[in-house]
Homo-oligomer: A and B are copies of this chain.
């Protein structure tokens, strides 16, 4: 295992220490229980946004804590759900009296623990709603999931709900925005190599030197099929065709096109994928009006990419464009 780490059991805590040291203007990292929280939390009268999940997907979620995005993130160990106690502590820290919205990726452990935290928070008179992201069209039911997995749309939901919360919309309204994002977003990923979980020390799955996995999950869960590696154009066809068919996206639709790197794939390749995706969508009359390209929801050191399309209306576009100031996503602020 080749990684820039110290001991595997210290990966999460030391990466969080680095995050905290680097971004004191944005956030704090609390321990016992552990969560990342906006430096200026709670914001009175603002809905608090909390997300979280296993670590290994950086910059998601801790890197998205800051103005215009999350109020807190609850990091579990690598690929391990955060506990209800972590989530409850984060909830209390960000509650500014307007309630707290959870953005939860659809993994069984995350769903259970965020649900339990919501019950504990309600017992303390904090109003909580949850939005579940289940945008991965690759498979139905998977290693850690009943139904569809939550992947790239999570990043977009965190940004867009963050903007809605900054406008001081109500908890119900921000949750509604989050559900609209999930309803309008579809994703699919692929891997050229497996990730290696530090504590395991070995690749999560075996992939031959000429093979790729189409439809892979962000924890290396199996996808739709294992194929011989193919040109970028064919990879885009394999990912974007089921995405477009699923919603469906139609000629005339405006979309945000998000090309995500899995952690081990450099930007030069992601731009080639974006180039091919643009071509694919143009042929179908689908108009890309916004984009995001880079490693935003990663799977440790996995080589590969995912594509997310989000159907945009004026409302979602305007929330996307609103200022954001986090370590991982920053503009106009």
Is A51 in contact with chain B by the CB < 8 A criterion? no
Is A56 in contact with chain B by the CB < 8 A criterion? yes
Known: A4-B270, A5-B272, A11-B272. A265 touches B301 (CB 8 A): yes
A268 to B299, CA, bound (A): 10
Is A252 in contact with chain B by the CB < 8 A criterion? no
Is A95 in contact with chain B by the CB < 8 A criterion? no
Q: Counting chain B CB atoms within 10 Å of each CB, which of A22, A193, A209 scores highest? A: A22
**How near does chain B come to A224, taking the closest CB pair, in angstroms?**
18
Question: Which residue on B lies nearest to A193, using beta carbons?
Answer: B2
Is A300 in contact with chain B by the CB < 8 A criterion? yes
**A-side interface residues, number (CB < 8 Å):** 60
Considering the complex, which residues of chain A in the window 251-305 have a beta carbon less than 8 Å from any beta carbon of chain B? Answer: 263-276, 278, 288, 291, 293, 295, 298, 300-301, 303-305
Complex contact B264–A301 (CB within 8 A) = yes
Complex contact A4–B264 (CB within 8 A) = no
Known: A303-B264, A332-B333. A274 touches B232 (CB 8 A): no
Is A156 in contact with chain B by the CB < 8 A criterion? no
Known: A293-B22, A303-B264, A333-B332. A58 touches B4 (CB 8 A): no
Which one, A13-21, A101-109, A125-133, is touching chain B? A13-21
Known: A4-B232, A4-B273, A303-B2. A268 touches B192 (CB 8 A): no
Question: Which residue on B lies nearest to A305, using beta carbons?
Answer: B4
A37 to B217, CA, bound (A): 38
Is A247 in contact with chain B by the CB < 8 A criterion? no
**How near does chain B come to A77, taking the closest CB pair, in angstroms?**
12
Known: A229-B2, A269-B3. A22 touches B291 (CB 8 A): yes
Residues of B within 8 A of A275 (CB): 14-15, 17-18, 21
Known: A4-B305, A5-B232. A295 touches B272 (CB 8 A): no
Q: Counting chain B CB atoms within 10 Å of each CB, which of A18, A274, A295, A330 scores highest? A: A18
Complex contact A18–B193 (CB within 8 A) = no
Is A32 in contact with chain B by the CB < 8 A criterion? no
**How near does chain B come to A305, taking the closest CB pair, in angstroms?**
6
Complex contact A298–B21 (CB within 8 A) = no
Complex contact B263–A266 (CB within 8 A) = yes
A327 to B291, CA, bound (A): 11
Complex contact B271–A22 (CB within 8 A) = yes
Complex contact A265–B330 (CB within 8 A) = no
**How near does chain B come to A262, taking the closest CB pair, in angstroms?**
9
Considering the complex, which residues of chain A in the window 111-137 have a beta carbon less than 8 Å from any beta carbon of chain B? Answer: none
Is A233 in contact with chain B by the CB < 8 A criterion? yes
Known: A14-B272, A18-B275, A21-B275. A265 touches B4 (CB 8 A): yes
**How near does chain B come to A190, taking the closest CB pair, in angstroms?**
9
Instruction: Offer 7 A-B interface pairs, CB within 8 angstroms, sorted by A.
Output: A4-B305, A5-B232, A18-B272, A18-B275, A264-B264, A264-B265, A265-B301
